[in-house]
């Protein structure tokens, strides 16, 4: 048996919707399926305002433009992160301030956020790793105390909750990814969510995504022609991407319940005392209701992680570690960060291993993966 680390999953209805977009004759942005995708996201997850983009990366870049990041500003974020979160900062000339994580969740530590706030701090970006919620109560308390906007990087977290609140609905802004590696996919797409009722932000968002023009005013009949009015870029996704996304969003409950069941198999098989000297499964805090985007284990040390990955590969089972901490990256080192500063990030990032979890994997295949993990541990004992 061969089990890849990841595999895309599609619904038959996607082809029907794509054909419909072609038949309508509008494959550029802001047509029927863009409107439908926005409505589905707002109705299902309670987001205030949604702006469809070509990626979550572009959604973060839009947020940086709306908040006017500039030289001299600092933005706090976890170092255990995807580069897009830092790129949206450095592209504006601002400085990323990398902080340590909570060792239980792999998410940004609220204590470390507050410890690193300065007079230069412009905003806080919090990523919900693996679809597991950050401690949003503590983070929003810090936000209120220091009057700092919070951007939720919910790229991995559509459908996850902090208690009963959907992730992406709590911060001032949020981004979500519909990349082909996510639970709900469109190949390449994303969205920016604005939850604060700020007319200036909403106006800027429309201008920015429309290449810095007032094209939306033309569409709404407010002007007779549109022109360049501010900074912006081309962030609007095609109707083809949105047609695929609509089908996926309509099947969200099916996707979500299936992944919950599959992750439960991993947890039942791997959360056992006999493995405690070799690894522990991921921890779900009591406030988090996860979408089960990722299932990972934390091994006792890097050697065990690397040997287990080699062992699984030998038996045709895919697995993967994850981010190289940004402060340890080539780009991060240009900012002169102390590589010994973030002890949990440095340590845990070298011990994390992601196991196969995707919409079409079966319980039988997950049990097969777990059997070989058990075989690996058995060989270590011998």
Residues with a known catalytic role: 182
Mapping DSSP onto H, E and C, the string for the chain reads CCECCCCCCCCCHHHHHHHHHHHHCCCCCCCHHHHHHHHHHHHHHCCCEEEEECCHHHHHHHHHHHCCCCCCCEEEEECCCCHHHHHHHHCCCCEEEEECECCCCCCECHHHHHHCCCCCEEEEEEECHHHCCCCHHHHHHHHHHHCCCEEEECCCCCCCEECCEECCCCCCEEEEECECCCCCCCECCEEEEECCCCHHHHHHHHHHHECCECHHHHHCCCCCCCCECCCCCECCCCHHHHHHHHHHHHCHHHHHHHHHHHHHHHHHHHCCHHHCCCEEECCCCCCEECCCCCEEEEECCHHHHHHHHHHHHHCCECCECCCCCHHHCHHHHCCCCCCCCCHHHHHHCCCEEEECCCCCCCHHHHHHHHHHHHHHHHHHHC
């Amino acid at each position: 048996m061969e089990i890849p680390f990841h595999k895309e999953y599609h619904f038959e209805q996607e082809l029907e919707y794509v054909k419909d977009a072609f038949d309508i004759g509008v494959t550029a942005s802001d047509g029927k399926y863009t409107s439908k995708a926005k409505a589905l996201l707002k109705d299902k997850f309670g987001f205030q305002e949604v702006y469809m983009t070509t990626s979550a990366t572009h959604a973060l870049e839009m947020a940086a433009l709306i908040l006017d990041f500039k030289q001299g500003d600092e933005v706090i974020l976890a170092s255990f992160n995807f580069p897009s979160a830092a790129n949206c900062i450095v592209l504006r000339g601002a400085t990323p301030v990398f902080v340590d994580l909570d060792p239980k969740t792999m998410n940004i530590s609220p204590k470390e956020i507050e410890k690193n706030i300065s007079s230069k701090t412009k905003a806080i970006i919090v990523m919900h790793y693996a679809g597991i919620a950050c401690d949003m109560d503590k983070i929003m308390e810090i936000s209120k105390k220091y009057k700092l906007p919070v951007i939720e990087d919910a790229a991995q977290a559509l459908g996850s909750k902090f208690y009963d609140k959907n992730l992406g609905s709590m911060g001032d802004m949020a981004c979500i990814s519909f990349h082909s590696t996510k639970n709900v996919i469109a190949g390449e797409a994303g969205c920016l969510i604005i939850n604060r009722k700020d007319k200036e932000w909403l106006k800027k968002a429309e201008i920015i995504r429309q290449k810095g023009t007032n094209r939306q005013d033309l569409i709404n009949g407010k002007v007779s022609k549109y022109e360049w009015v501010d900074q912006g870029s081309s962030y609007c996704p095609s109707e083809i991407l949105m047609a695929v996304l609509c089908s996926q969003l309509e099947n969200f409950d099916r996707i979500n319940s299936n992944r919950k069941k599959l992750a439960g198999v991993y947890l039942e098989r791997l959360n056992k005392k006999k493995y405690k000297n070799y690894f522990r499964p991921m921890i779900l805090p009591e406030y988090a209701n996860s979408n089960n985007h990722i299932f990972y284990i934390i091994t006792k040390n890097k050697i065990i992680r690397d040997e287990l990955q080699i062992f699984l590969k030998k038996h045709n089972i895919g697995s993967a570690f994850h981010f190289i901490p940004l402060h340890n990256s080539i780009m991060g080192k240009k900012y002169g960060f102390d590589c010994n500063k973030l002890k949990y990030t440095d340590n845990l990032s070298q011990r994390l291993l992601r196991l196969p979890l995707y919409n079409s994997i079966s319980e039988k295949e997950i049990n097969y993966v777990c059997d070989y993990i058990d075989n690996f541990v058995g060989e270590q004992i011998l």
